[in-house]
Structure 1
Amino acid sequence: MPRKSKSKLALVLQSNPDGQPIAGVGSGVGLEFIKAYFPEAQNIIRIASAYFSLVGYKLGRKYVASEVQFQIIVGREEGKHVRATVIDEITADLGQCDTDLWKTVFELVERMKSGRFIIRDAREMQVPFHCKFSICDSKLIWHGSSNYSRRGLCQSAEQVSVSRDSERICLFTNWYDDVAQNAQDLLAELIKKLEDWLNLATPFEIYLKTLFLLNNLAEYPLCLGAYSPVYYQKGVIARALRQANEYGGALIIAATGLGKTVIGAEIALRLQPIGRTNQVILIAPSGVRENWEQQLENRNVYFKFFNIDVLFRKASQQSHHQTTQLEKQLQRANHNTVIIIDEAHFYRNELLREKSKRGKSLVYERIVPAIKAGAKIFLLTATAYGTDFLNLNSLLYLLPHRFYNPNLFDEQSPWKINNAEEFSRLPIVTILGLPHVLKMARNRGDIDTNGRTFIQFGDERRYLPKSLKLYSLRYQLFLQPELQSAFDRRYFDQAFKSPHEWFDDDRMALCESAIDTVYNASLTSWLSSPIAMADSIEQNLATPSYSEQFERVSQLTLNLWQQSAANVHNQDYYSLNVVDTQNRSYKTRMHITLEERSNTLMPVLAQLRQSNYRDDKFLKLQKIIEDHCLDTRGKVIIFVKRYLTAQYLLTILQRTFSGALNIGCTVETDEDNPRLKAGLQRFEVLKQFSPRSHNYKANREYDVLICTDADGVGVDLQDADTVVNYDPPEGADELFQRAGRVLRMTANPERVVQFYTLVPLIIDQRDSLSRVHNDICERFDRILHRHNKSKRILGSGVISEEEHSEITLDSDLDVEQLTRDSKFLTDIGGLGAESMLSHVAVLEQYRNCAEELPEYLLSARSYSKPQPRIFVLLKHESKYYPILFNLSNKKLEKQDEIAILDLIACIESEPCAAIQAAEIEKIANQAARAWCDFENISVDQVSKICSLYLVPIDKIAKINRLLNDTFNDEE
């Protein structure tokens, strides 16, 4: 996280003739008055403040004579809800890393015990106490907005003025003393807390506290075929287990290729051995079933598999039906059940269904009761955002609901967000993008001799592509003048619009409108291919208007087509393939009569049906294939939306590259009707296109693959390096899923991946009076808008607004700016199972003791290493970071958590080394500041939870001399 610069309001002081301030405003004004007037006190200084801190006390104590008594009353800050007790606020300074406090705290405790320091809490008094002032004896008073804390005295812009009016001083003093009589005395409790910190903890308490807070994972032995999680996956798994304990589940968004299957299988494994899980329900697409079976079965995890679409199906009376089996499993769900849903974005529209008039969601009706019964649920996907933020809330609705206001009828509410940044910060959401993995690898030092960052998988190095090249290629729409005119003259409009409900991100509300399904489908066909447009026109010309009868239109249509065919019988046309015109018609009526439509659309249809028709869009694709298949011997994946377009491309590509390239396609034609090939057939095509990624020996390899978004999920096609968005998708998730087929880690450090998006030239011409022109522009604007919102969540983009752009993954991505959820991804791997199991065993044995340990601990121990080090456990934004600092060279040492745990591990009776506590605190603060500088994090955002000084055996006396020489001038 980049450190934010702190701009201070300039300090302005008004002084009397003696040079003493009488009024002031700005940053540091409170400290100026302390410097000027605390030395005048001889007996008592009374302070009323909303906050009191140890650092604030340190700032002021040097200006007060030792015999002067401090009296402090802490009141409530006006307009703010008190979230912590006064004691908690004061002791929180023990964890700050910017100021050494041990000597200050020691002196403060001595003052307390001798009666020279009294502190009371007035926050709970019936009459709110908001005043902020200081009274020195009965000589003077200054009041204003400055609290007695570091922020109030030095950082915040405050105002203060002084008075020597004896009547006013008497009035304030009497009022202060009256309040003090009824305020709560904090002295005994505060002395106990501070003395616990002053007295060193044992080394074992430091080790135990660290174990408890880090909640490390054990390494479990796996059967052959199960992949061990790598370090970045372990960070996600550890967090998921904490999320399961705290929230009952998690939504995990991991970019394609980062191993969601391994993450999910490890979560199931780690919940199972400790007796909390005896039933795992896995819901996933059939295409990834084999991968899940390999990872779960080789971890000896018992599970039941169900296809992702089963939840959409209505209940069945047949006992063997998958829907029936799933419902039985869900009805038996309890606290020992884990539900894992892979590719959870399939359920992104369920909340829209619930909120709209479409009817109840079968997905929610089945899953939510199981979650309420105590089942843990983990949602896995690479792309949560599709079209709007309701997609995200739809997935969040599947997670265990939470109490927003426990006092309000104990009602639980679903998690929900209003924007991408808010989504990224949710504690129940984990986001693992490609930039996060690269950042962690760089922090580990996993950089080869050529400067390329790699990901270590056991003994193998894998690399993400060196760069992503994004192209936005413009093409001329075929027959644009004729079809644009036909669209604008409403030849593709249905007579009556259909009701449509959608979610508006800007208003965060469900909206209603009317939609023309025929118009939209026809427009999609025009943006797809000539053959798809021809099919839309044929259906158009088989459909009557509102005032026409089907029988009359059917005969008229047949006559028109026969006449058209007779006029051009010598030319090479595709067959119209229309026998029963009524079966070819749309279900709705058209707005314009058939005769009027036919005059314009028949000639267009005739041109589109010519077998040698080549549109500019295809010519752009042809050039891409020539560049990446013929010239560089690469492979190209082409994504389309229309089955007809897939067949169109297959036919003309085979004709164009006959003998030079092999073309594969996941769509086939059955009785002149295009359809997806059966699952096993499609899988065979995918393996023939990408045999190396499937570890498959193919008799025939495809160079080009034509497919739909049905094959855009969960399929590894990394043998290819080029993806073409031939047809635009609707949602951002489809874009990222398409890219994810090739955006994976390989052994090749020089791999470059290309993404092409074909865009009609018409979008570059704005301010048109043409309705269809503006609709096309709006459609592509919407795709880009959705892409950019999803990009904020995932951390990188896959399409470019410019004609060409390039992303160098190792350097260009600003990870911290694009996502706020990267710090939990801590490397906790690298050592074997034996070491981790021993640490976990200690934690389980002493868990109750760990829970009772104080918040902040200091200790020291001797060890066998030759160099003195200090271990510090830091806390930043509710996450914990163990660091090692070498005292000899004043540098941080890069060690993973397991290595650090091994270094500080000890038995319960391990004695403390004879190192002064004040010196331990100084070194710990120096180590913390070094880490903050390295991570570019402001030190005031970090707390040190515990510190353990590691002293080489027989060198304690020498170390003490070194510490004294080093830090004598710091106090």
Structure 2
Amino acid sequence: MPRIFDNISEQLQTALIQTLNTAQRADFCVGYFNLRGWRLLQPHIEDWQGDETQRVRLLIGMHRSPQEEIRELFSLTGKGDGLIDNARLVRLKRQIVEEFRQQLMLGAPTNADEQGLRDLARQMREGKLVVKLFLRYPLHAKLYLLHQPHLYSAPIHAYLGSSNLTFSGLSGQGELNTEVTDTDAAAKLAHWFEERWADRGCLDITADLIQVIAESWAREKTLSPYEVYLKMAYHLAQEALAGLSGEFKLPNELTAILFDYQAAAVQIAAHHLNKRGGVLLGDVVGLGKTLMATALARIFQDDYGYETLILCPKNLESMWRKYIADYRLIAHVLPTSKALRQLPELRRYRLIIIDESHNLRNREGQRYGVIRDYIEANESKVILLSATPYNKSYLDLSAQLRLFIPEDRDIGIRPERYIGEIGELEFTRRHQANTRSLAAFEKSEHADDWRDLMRLYLVRRTRSFIIQNYAETDPISRRSFLRLRDGRLSYFPARVPKTIAFPANDQFSRMYSDDVVTWINLLSLPRYGLGQYVSEKAAKGADADEKRLLENLSRAGERLMGFSRTNLFKRLESSGASFLQSIDRHILRNSVYLYAIENDLPLPIGTLDADAIDPSAEDEDEDSILTAEDVDENGADAAQVEQGDTTRSAYQRRAQTAYELFSGGYKRRFKWLRPTLFSAALKTKLREDSDQLLEVLRLCGTWDAASDTKLNALHDLIARQHAGEKVLIFSQFADTVRYLEEQLAARGVRGLSAVTGSSDDPTAPAWRFSPVSSGANVAPEDELRVLIATDVLSEGQNLQDAAIVINYDLPWAIIRLSQRAGRVDRIGQQAERILCYSFLPADGVEQIIRLRARVRQRLAENSEVVGSDEQFFDDDQLAAQLRDLYTEKSGILDFEADTEVDLASYAYQIWANATRTDPALAKKIADLPDVVYSTRRYVGSVQRPQGVLTYMKTADGTDSLAWLDADGNSVTQSQYAILRAAECPPDTPALERHPNHHDLVLQAVALMRRGDYNVGGQLGGRTSARRRAYERLKDYIERLKQEAPLFVTQDLERAVDDLYRYPLRSTARDSINRQIKAGVSNEDLAKLVVALRAEDRLSLIQEDGEANEPCVLCSLGLFDL
């Protein structure tokens, strides 16, 4: 009776090995051969000679999938004559060899598999194993013949059945095989094998398999670390490479004037725009984003007939009209400030450019909503332009992306770091958001998640990146330059920090005294925290409009108070005149409130939007009674309000006049609330603050411009040291700008003008100041030499006719100094050096550092929220940078985080530089199979230890990287940091693999897949049957584990897992809903769900193993072996 091998009671592997140990040669015919599986049999033929008398002949049949069989069965063209020609034989051979190549790119590497594959290749080279493909017709036989000529009774021992030469076929899964020991039957099987082995349609692929292994991760000759580094860069650069593949062609007239880096950005951006409906051009200041956006719009105009709508700040309207005329763009320009009124009535534009898009970060604003609704209604594609895409919060980025991406749209990737941290199950419980949506990313605080997201939408390069990758070096001057396509050169100037130290005289010292700082820090600022003074009793009787306003007051308070306090100190640093003016206005606004309260008149409530008074976006004083525009229209009344002495009675008179103006012609500018809605404490705090500020005015006295040592130093700088040279002066505040303009003009400075947010046409003075770079025709007598401007109004202007920048005051975020320098350090700058002057007290920066530290402490004590300027750096960072600025440290104004470069551009540039140097690398690296690895020498540090870098592509195609240390601990999953860690020169030698390398790769894969459930595991709304059943049963299981763990069955846990992973069948949903409405207990609900699952009536399960299989692309060991 022959034995049966089903891999359950008896395993074929055991019998096969026993017989192999006594055999001299073997013939196998199988339908599938797992190359890794050969190591099960490899030791048992190791002693064979490898000639015809001692070898394994392996015949692999060609099989068809069920789909192919059905297609041929019902083919309308017939089955053909069954003949196979040489061309088809070669084609089939090539196809199947490629399948073997793909086989080795599945899964993760192990030490055992690597050694097994190397032994397999060696045994094939030694002739101990010969492999052929049978291609004449589909063959799916499984036959194992073992020749034992020394055994007279059974010279051929055969096994026939269903097992392939794989782990599962030999031992891991149920099969059906039988042993054939009958001499005649075994001889017939051997004859059958010989006929096919000698068939003309049977091709030897032994050498091909040897080559497949030699090129795989199991190769004997290790890849160089540089090749693995380039493979990482190549795959990370796929988005950029897709854009540069020739998909979009630049207009001819723009091709001649775009630098290579600009042309590359436009083509990459065109790919993003076409594929995803939007792109953010985020190059830093001065690299030509406006021209790039114009070229991008022209591509879509020429290729698709799109017309463009340009939304921009009012001060950039003239510039955009010039670009439209110069580059034949069919476009309409609309100032963003007019969007609320005009956009709803505008006709359809298929493409929209939004310049300075970071200004649209308030998703709750009316203007934002109108723009978003227009884009959605017209299905417009969107080009966002911003050198500062986000200030501090990542929500700044998502707000801009939400203009063209609905929050629930599937964007193809997930916030893997955040989901990995809490698990997808917990994510779904916490958040009502699809894991592959923009809303999901908004829940993440992980920078790497946002970098992954922005890879799809952002094109951003820094000045240093352009210099490093696109610039050439002048052999004589050693200066970096770009070469235009017409041969002209554009040099990059050096940014030279300079400090102007001005003496601190009495009036300066009085303002910086401890008393002044203490008084300001002690201010209650009740007007900005009105929500704290609402009378609960009175509020109950408020009408609907009043209740809505009171609610807004509570939300806005902390931010408004933080802004107001910091602004007072910022104005103190800016100019004594501006500071005292602001103190005066603050007292007056308090007095207006006191006047209203004392006369039972409605209180005028100003802006409740903290962004509107953030000096990074607004240069006017939030306490200014009237704007410069109002002063022009109502000169007499405004002057009466804004001027006067500093006694309490004088402020009371001015307050009455101001209130009459507010409640008269300017009534619609305010919201109005009854004073009886507030407690008596409001009046008390207003009076206390006013009294403290009156003390500040009395201590500081009247400001004397003639004794202003800071102003005197500025005048000396522009009138003596740089007489005749163009000078650009920056201040954060419009009041300071107007003060400087007035005082410098009075001192005889000619060719002078000022630009603030209230200027009617800021572009006109910019063109007069910089006519060459702006391409403007300006008469010599109209040209400006000195331009004073605020930060808000310097965006987008070409001011590179000048090479001297003066920072009259210092932003609290030093990066803004770099951005100011970028206004003149733009493409086309002719000067070798950009001189960047910063004003600091002569006795050093320590006074400013102490002042800012005290302000921060006070803000923290009050839990007041600060603006974007103050959130950039902690005190230690700020102090160090201020000291570097004071000592004129080289490079302080080149402040650019390398991580600001979008990863696709960064990776592409690595690839482009490498393949430009060695063109043969392009094909070599692109052809490298997956799973390959190498190791390079690396010493490491505490923060960046030795370990293994692993690059994996997840089941849904997302790039995921991990850096594990030698003990398997996660170092980082930052793609940028890992790519930087992999960086090495081409001649870097490969070291021997660390013994734990493959184990660490497996751990990295587990880390990257943590919480990675079947996509689609969304439980629905809070009232959905699926969510309610899942949450109840999840809690039920947790309680049972504590109280009665034996009742937690595997069936119950699997049913609950199915509830999470898969959608419910409609019948199951109805059953669960009925039971829940009937008040079913958790125990009975559990029984219902388990029963439904047992009958396959619970969930709609669609398994697709191949589609959900991640793959390891490569890994790099970092060790000092």
Q: TM-score, normalised by structure 1?
A: 0.54
Single out whichever of 535-544 and 244-253 deviates more from structure 2.
535-544
- 1:215 correspondence with 2:245: yes
For residues 284 and 877 of structure 1, the distance between their equivalents in structure 2, rounded to whole angstroms, comes to 46
**1:772–1:403: structure 2 CA closer, same or farther, 3 Å change rule?**
closer
**1:727–1:233: structure 2 CA closer, same or farther, 3 Å change rule?**
same
- 1:609 correspondence with 2:702: yes
For residues 752 and 763 of structure 1, the distance between their equivalents in structure 2, rounded to whole angstroms, comes to 26
Equivalent positions of 1:199-214 (< 5 A) are: none
- 1:459 correspondence with 2:500: no
2:358 alignment partner in structure 1: 345
For residues 203 and 871 of structure 2, the distance between their equivalents in structure 1, rounded to whole angstroms, comes to 56
SS at structure 2 position matched to 1:609: coil
- Deviation string 1:434-456 (CA, Å, 9 cap, x unpaired) is 122112224xx554432222111
SS at structure 1 position matched to 2:246: coil
Q: CA deviation at 1:253?
A: 0.7
Which of 753, 766, 777 pairs up with 1:664? 753
Equivalent positions of 1:307-326 (< 5 A) are: 307-311=335-339, 313=340, 316=341, 322-326=342-346
For residues 354 and 28 of structure 2, the distance between their equivalents in structure 1, rounded to whole angstroms, comes to 64
For residues 781 and 642 of structure 1, the distance between their equivalents in structure 2, rounded to whole angstroms, comes to 16
**1:85–1:467: structure 2 CA closer, same or farther, 3 Å change rule?**
farther
**1:869–1:741: structure 2 CA closer, same or farther, 3 Å change rule?**
closer
| Counterpart residue identity of residue 872, structure 2 | R
2:387 alignment partner in structure 1: 382
Equivalent positions of 1:281-430 (< 5 A) are: 281-297=309-325, 299-311=327-339, 313=340, 316=341, 322-326=342-346, 328-329=347-348, 337-347=350-360, 349-351=361-363, 353=364, 361-367=366-372, 370-371=375-376, 374-400=379-405, 402-403=409-410, 413-414=437-438, 418=445, 420=447, 422-425=449-452, 426-430=455-459
- Deviation string 1:808-834 (CA, Å, 9 cap, x unpaired) is 6999989589764434666999xxxxx
For residues 594 and 820 of structure 1, the distance between their equivalents in structure 2, rounded to whole angstroms, comes to 55
Q: CA deviation at 1:461?
A: 0.2
1:950 alignment partner in structure 2: none
**1:874–1:623: structure 2 CA closer, same or farther, 3 Å change rule?**
farther
Conserved in 2, the CA contact under 8 Å of 1:720 and 1:742?
yes
- Deviation string 1:762-782 (CA, Å, 9 cap, x unpaired) is 343389888887789999997
Q: CA deviation at 1:713?
A: 0.7
1:88 alignment partner in structure 2: 102
SS at structure 1 position matched to 2:729: strand
Q: What RMSD in Å do the two structures reach over aligned CA positions? A: 6.5
- 1:764 correspondence with 2:840: no
| Counterpart residue identity of residue 738, structure 1 | R
1:531 alignment partner in structure 2: 577
Q: CA deviation at 1:715?
A: 0.6
| More strand, by proportion | 1
Equivalent positions of 1:19-418 (< 5 A) are: 66=50, 67-68=55-56, 88=102, 90=104, 111-113=130-132, 177-179=170-172, 215-216=245-246, 222=252, 228-274=257-303, 276-297=304-325, 299-311=327-339, 313=340, 316=341, 322-326=342-346, 328-329=347-348, 337-347=350-360, 349-351=361-363, 353=364, 361-367=366-372, 370-371=375-376, 374-400=379-405, 402-403=409-410, 413-414=437-438, 418=445
Q: CA deviation at 1:653?
A: 2.7
| Counterpart residue identity of residue 113, structure 1 | K
2:872 alignment partner in structure 1: 786
**1:934–1:765: structure 2 CA closer, same or farther, 3 Å change rule?**
same
For residues 180 and 733 of structure 1, the distance between their equivalents in structure 2, rounded to whole angstroms, comes to 63
For residues 989 and 338 of structure 2, the distance between their equivalents in structure 1, rounded to whole angstroms, comes to 47
Conserved in 1, the CA contact under 8 Å of 2:307 and 2:331?
yes
2:477 alignment partner in structure 1: 450
**1:88–1:618: structure 2 CA closer, same or farther, 3 Å change rule?**
farther
Could you say which structure has the larger radius of gyration? 2
- Deviation string 1:67-106 (CA, Å, 9 cap, x unpaired) is 347899xxxxxxxxxxx9986353699xxxxxx99x9799
Aligned residues: 668
- 1:718 correspondence with 2:800: yes
- 1:750 correspondence with 2:762: no
| Counterpart residue identity of residue 363, structure 1 | Y
SS at structure 2 position matched to 1:580: helix
For residues 369 and 810 of structure 2, the distance between their equivalents in structure 1, rounded to whole angstroms, comes to 30
For residues 707 and 392 of structure 1, the distance between their equivalents in structure 2, rounded to whole angstroms, comes to 27
1:490 alignment partner in structure 2: 523
| Counterpart residue identity of residue 638, structure 1 | I
For residues 273 and 646 of structure 2, the distance between their equivalents in structure 1, rounded to whole angstroms, comes to 67
Q: CA deviation at 1:216?
A: 1.9
1:685 alignment partner in structure 2: 765
| Counterpart residue identity of residue 478, structure 2 | G
**1:307–1:64: structure 2 CA closer, same or farther, 3 Å change rule?**
farther
SS at structure 2 position matched to 1:255: coil
**1:603–1:63: structure 2 CA closer, same or farther, 3 Å change rule?**
same
Which of 748, 761, 774 pairs up with 1:694? 774
For residues 373 and 101 of structure 2, the distance between their equivalents in structure 1, rounded to whole angstroms, comes to 42
**1:595–1:697: structure 2 CA closer, same or farther, 3 Å change rule?**
same
| Counterpart residue identity of residue 584, structure 2 | E
SS at structure 1 position matched to 2:282: strand
Structure 2 residue ranges without an equivalent (≥5): 1-19, 61-97, 108-116, 141-145, 147-164, 177-200, 213-237, 415-427, 534-554, 601-639, 663-669, 676-681, 913-917, 929-982, 994-1121
Conserved in 2, the CA contact under 8 Å of 1:495 and 1:591?
no
**1:712–1:872: structure 2 CA closer, same or farther, 3 Å change rule?**
same
| Counterpart residue identity of residue 350, structure 1 | N
| More helix, by proportion | 2
For residues 204 and 271 of structure 2, the distance between their equivalents in structure 1, rounded to whole angstroms, comes to 32
- Deviation string 1:886-908 (CA, Å, 9 cap, x unpaired) is xxxxxxxxxxxxxxxxxxxxxxx
1:642 alignment partner in structure 2: 733
For residues 512 and 552 of structure 1, the distance between their equivalents in structure 2, rounded to whole angstroms, comes to 24
- Deviation string 1:132-176 (CA, Å, 9 cap, x unpaired) is xxxxx9xxxxxxxxxxxxxxxxxxxxxxxxxxxxxxxxxx99976
Conserved in 2, the CA contact under 8 Å of 1:743 and 1:753?
no
Identity level (%): 16
2:953 alignment partner in structure 1: none
- 1:804 correspondence with 2:890: no
SS at structure 1 position matched to 2:272: helix
| Counterpart residue identity of residue 455, structure 1 | L
Which of 900, 918, 923 pairs up with 1:873? 923
For residues 489 and 411 of structure 2, the distance between their equivalents in structure 1, rounded to whole angstroms, comes to 46
Conserved in 2, the CA contact under 8 Å of 1:543 and 1:594?
no
**1:219–1:646: structure 2 CA closer, same or farther, 3 Å change rule?**
same
For residues 822 and 174 of structure 1, the distance between their equivalents in structure 2, rounded to whole angstroms, comes to 44
Single out whichever of 415-424 and 338-347 deviates more from structure 2.
415-424
Greater relative contact order (Cα 8 A, min sep 6): structure 1 or 2? 1
SS at structure 2 position matched to 1:542: helix
| Counterpart residue identity of residue 384, structure 2 | L
SS at structure 1 position matched to 2:722: helix
**1:298–1:623: structure 2 CA closer, same or farther, 3 Å change rule?**
closer
Conserved in 2, the CA contact under 8 Å of 1:42 and 1:65?
no
Structure 1 residue ranges without an equivalent (≥5): 1-36, 73-83, 94-99, 122-136, 138-171, 199-208, 317-321, 331-336, 354-359, 501-509, 569-575, 668-674, 792-796, 830-867, 879-930, 941-971
For residues 591 and 872 of structure 2, the distance between their equivalents in structure 1, rounded to whole angstroms, comes to 36
For residues 870 and 987 of structure 2, the distance between their equivalents in structure 1, rounded to whole angstroms, comes to 33
